[in-house]
């Protein structure tokens, strides 16, 4: 078959997989490999077989498009069993990545060689499943239970050198892979080395308690996820059963996970992340502008993080600040963060100096005259930002992209004062910018198509997940967050406590509740953001001024030892009766009779109000697809991946369920806050979802 060709090199047959772009294990590839195995076994002239791949990688995994549906034979389980059962030595020659089903194929071969740059892994857990073609059975037999548990439950790939050290790879090939693999195989034959079938080995476990210990650790580290715990059970099968029985149990467990809601959500997230990179209406061949140098205005925490994103990618940055001390502080922060990497051994001192050496600091805007992209990251105040953009429009060269990192403000106003609206775009990073994966790019009314294409490409360059939004108050993420924050404040007034609300969202799957986050980020920051949006708040939101009261008391959160919670010297939080008393008195002053609010109401009001706002965002064209909303919340706001994002979650529970609840809360809270969005209403009454219009 075209996807797999077999050639002879003397007594060695070479089966070459060629299924661009990543040589996925499609039906054609599985069939081709099965035929190659049968052909090699039947040909008396062939004494060994090498499995190798064309293009940029070894088999990088299963064909995910086949997930969830009937799969045509030969099944991968049968293929790997046939590979391993061969009476002739089979060698996997690995370059690029051997992932998932690709590594399972390599494990079924009797020997493995790899180039130094190769990486190997079983990432299935990240899709909410586990390796289903013997991966959890063969890997612990080859490298030991402890090492296998780490690879399988975390889903991360490892470098060829580490793979060699733990026994996963037999030899590192420097130079041409095929020539090296042939030489390795010839040596095997000359020496008469016996075939080593991985499935016949014994899974070695030094610590019998490792399974229970790993599960306990995963319950904390990957809280709420089912697949990692199932991976532990499956690896245990390799210890308790022969290969055939263990593989049957592994496959049954894999199928159970695949049919569950978590895997469906995680697979949705996987595909959605790739979908959002494609901008509807923007041709894929749109020419992009060259970006070889970057300017950042504002050396605060956000600006510093943005600088690090670009120097991490090897791009020089000119950092503009008001004075030298603030610029030096920014450089000091970078050195401190990189210094932590040096201490951990993940970066050298030379690399640290090289990165910081890419930063030029200045107080003079004219030093930006030659850069290709400038990102403004000053205080969230329209007048201040307008002043910056007026300067940038004059000092930067023609064709330079002018971007703002604003979280809420109207980009079109900034575009107009620049005098070059076609060059202006939003690039909204999330704090800390050097860590958070999301980049919310924002299209202005007059933003040029090539500017959009450029910033989407830049996101990939600096290893961000780029999502395109239209202009509105808060764009996608913060617009929805504002509605959730509003309902939280209303429920505090009505009878809930901060710690009750925090626990409900924690139990839902968020890493932290909203008031824990507020204390971490700073009540002073929340107060400033509230004041910046004052004109856009309703009268009831004005009166729900608990943030203002905490700010006036100097309770800024963790930084002052008290916010919604009190904190000890290790920043451990404790619910504060003083805050509860403050809220109770606030409710009384507002004439609100407090009541017991159940966890279900808290969960529904906080989550459903976001879903409703998401429907408005879609209807208005601010987001082109529900995928965009889900990825913003998955990568920027910590929405549980195993729930797939707010819009996918809404489809999972049914839009009619959401719609009926919105009507209930419309009567309870008010039509101003809970009237169902027209799109949500249309879809709910038609029995459809956001992904099945």
Catalytic one among 3, 66, 84, 104? 104
User: Is it the case that residue 528 has pLDDT exceeding 60?
Assistant: yes
User: What is the model's pLDDT at position 73?
Assistant: 82
Report whether the peptide linkage leading into residue 673 is cis, meaning its omega lies within 30 degrees of zero.
no
pLDDT higher than threshold 70 for residue 163: yes
**Token duo for residue 472:** 């509105």
**Pick from 169, 166, 127, 170: which is nearest to 149 by CA?**
166
What average pLDDT does this structure show over 553-561?
96
* Model pLDDT, residue 287: 95
d(C-alpha 655, C-alpha 671), whole Å: 19
Report pLDDT digits (tens) over 171-182. 999 999 999 999
- Residue 2's pLDDT band, with cuts at 50, 70 and 90, is confident
CATH class of 4-259: alpha beta
Distances (CA, A) of 249 to 132, 137, 256: 9, 10, 11
pLDDT surpassing 90 at residue 330: yes
As to burial, measured by CB atoms within 10 angstroms (0-12 exposed, 13-18 middle, 19+ buried), residue 667 is: exposed
Do the first three CATH levels of 4-259 and 496-594 match, i.e. the same topology? no
Residue 542 in tokens: 């004005």
Lowest mean pLDDT among 278-287, 302-311, 444-453, 675-684: 278-287
Give the sign of the dihedral formed by CA 241, CA 246, CA 250, CA 252.
negative
pLDDT value at residue 663? 98
pLDDT band for position 63 (50/70/90)? confident
Question: Which tens digit of pLDDT belongs to each residue from 198-239?
Answer: 999 999 898 999 999 999 999 999 999 999 999 999 999 999
Question: So where are the chain's domains?
Answer: 4-259, 294-473, 496-594
In tens, the pLDDT along 118-153 reads 999 999 999 999 999 999 999 999 999 999 999 999
Q: Which element (helix H / strand E) includes 244? A: helix 243-258
**Helix, coil or strand: residue 621:** coil
Which pLDDT value is given to residue 532? 85
Q: Reply yes or no on whether 146 is catalytic.
A: no
In the Cβ-directed half-sphere of 247, how many Cα atoms lie within 13 Å? 19
Predicted confidence at residue 284, as pLDDT, reads 86
Tell whether the torsion through CA atoms of 591, 595, 600 and 602 is positive or negative.
positive
Measured CA to CA, the distance from residue 446 to residue 229 in angstroms comes to: 50
> Is 273 in the active site?
no
- Identified catalytic residue from 3, 124, 376, 416: 124
Mean pLDDT rounded to a whole number for the chain: 96
CATH class of 294-473: alpha beta
pTM: 0.93
Per-residue model confidence (pLDDT) at position 1: 54
Please count the other Cβ atoms lying within 10 Å of the Cβ belonging to residue 656.
Answer: 16
| pLDDT for 693 beyond 80 | no
Query: Is pLDDT above 80 for 65?
Result: no
Q: Per-residue pLDDT for 64 more than 80?
A: no
* pLDDT band for position 357 (cuts 50, 70, 90): very high
Q: What is the pLDDT of residues 364-398, one digit of tens each?
A: 999 999 999 999 999 988 999 999 999 999 999 99
Q: Estimate to the nearest angstrom the gap between the alpha carbon of 93 and the chain centroid.
A: 30
Give the CATH number of domain 496-594: 1.10.1040.50
Q: Give the per-residue pLDDT at 69.
A: 63
């Amino acid at each position: 078959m075209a996807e797999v060709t077999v050639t002879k090199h003397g007594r060695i047959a070479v089966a070459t997989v060629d299924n661009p772009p990543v040589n996925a294990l499609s039906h054609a590839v599985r069939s081709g490999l099965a035929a190659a195995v049968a052909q090699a076994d039947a040909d008396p002239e062939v004494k060994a077989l090498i499995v190798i791949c064309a293009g940029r990688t070894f088999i990088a995994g299963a064909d995910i498009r086949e997930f969830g549906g009937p799969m045509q034979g030969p099944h991968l389980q049968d293929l790997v069993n046939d590979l391993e059962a061969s009476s002739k030595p089979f060698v996997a020659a690995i370059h690029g990545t051997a992932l998932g089903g690709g590594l399972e194929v390599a494990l079924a071969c009797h020997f493995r060689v790899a180039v130094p740059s190769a990486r190997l892994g079983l990432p299935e857990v990240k899709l909410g499943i586990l390796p289903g073609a013997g991966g959890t059975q063969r890997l612990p037999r080859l490298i030991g239970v402890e090492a296998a548990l780490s690879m399988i439950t975390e889903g991360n790939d490892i470098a060829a050198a580490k793979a060699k050290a733990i026994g996963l790879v037999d030899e590192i090939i420097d130079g041409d892979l095929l020539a090296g693999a042939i030489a390795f195989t010839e040596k095997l034959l000359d020496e008469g080395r016996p075939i080593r079938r991985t499935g016949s080995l014994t899974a070695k476990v030094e610590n019998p308690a490792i399974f229970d210990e790993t599960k306990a650790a995963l319950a904390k580290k990957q809280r709420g996820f089912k697949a990692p715990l199932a991976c532990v059970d499956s690896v245990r099968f390799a210890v308790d059963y022969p290969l055939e029985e263990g593989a049957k149990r592994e496959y049954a467990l894999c199928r159970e996970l695949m049919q569950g809601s978590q895997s469906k959500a995680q697979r949705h997230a996987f595909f959605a992340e790739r979908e959002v990179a494609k901008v509807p209406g923007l041709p894929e061949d749109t020419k992009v502008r060259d970006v070889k140098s970057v300017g950042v205005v504002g050396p605060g925490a956000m600006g510093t993080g943005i600088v690090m994103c670009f120097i991490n990618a090897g791009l020089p940055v000119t950092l503009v600040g008001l004075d030298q001390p603030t610029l030096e502080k920014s450089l000091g922060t970078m050195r401190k963060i990189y210094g932590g990497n040096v201490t951990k051994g993940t970066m050298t001192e030379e690399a640290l100096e090289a990165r910081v050496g890419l930063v030029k600091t200045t107080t003079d805007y004219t030093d930006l005259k030659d850069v290709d992209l400038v990102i403004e990251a000053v205080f969230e105040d329209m007048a201040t930002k307008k002043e910056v953009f007026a300067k940038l429009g004059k000092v930067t060269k023609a064709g330079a992209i002018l971007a703002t990192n604003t979280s809420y403000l109207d980009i079109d106003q900034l575009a107009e004062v620049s005098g070059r609206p076609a060059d202006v775009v939003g690039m909204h990073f999330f704090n800390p910018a050097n860590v958070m994966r999301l980049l919310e790019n924002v299209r202005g009314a007059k933003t040029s198509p090539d500017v959009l294409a450029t910033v989407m490409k830049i996101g990939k360059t600096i290893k961000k997940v780029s999502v395109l939004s239209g202009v509105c108050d808060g764009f996608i993420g913060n617009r929805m967050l504002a509605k959730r924050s509003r309902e939280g404040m209303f429920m505090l007034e009505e009878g809930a406590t901060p710690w009750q609300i925090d626990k409900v969202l924690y139990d839902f799957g968020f890493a932290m509740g909203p008031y824990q986050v507020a204390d971490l980020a700073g009540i002073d920051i929340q107060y400033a953001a509230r004041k910046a949006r004052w004109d856009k708040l309703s009268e009831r939101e004005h009166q729900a001024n608990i943030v203002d009261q905490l700010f006036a008391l100097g309770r800024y959160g963790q930084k002052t030892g008290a916010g919604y919670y009190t904190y000890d010297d290790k920043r451990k939080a404790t619910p504060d009766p003083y805050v509860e008393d403050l809220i109770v008195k606030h409710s009384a002053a507002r004439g609100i009779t407090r009541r017991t609010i159940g966890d279900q109401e808290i969960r529904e009001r906080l989550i459903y109000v976001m879903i409703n706002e998401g429907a408005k965002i879609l209807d208005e064209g601010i987001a082109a697809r529900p995928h965009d909303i889900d990825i913003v919340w998955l990568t920027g706001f910590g929405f549980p991946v195993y729930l797939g994002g707010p819009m996918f979650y809404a489809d999972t529970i049914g839009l009619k369920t959401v719609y009926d609840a919105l009507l209930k809360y419309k009567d309870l809270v008010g039509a101003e806050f809970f009237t169902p969005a027209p799109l949500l209403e249309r879809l709910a009454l038609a029995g459809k979802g956001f992904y099945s219009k």
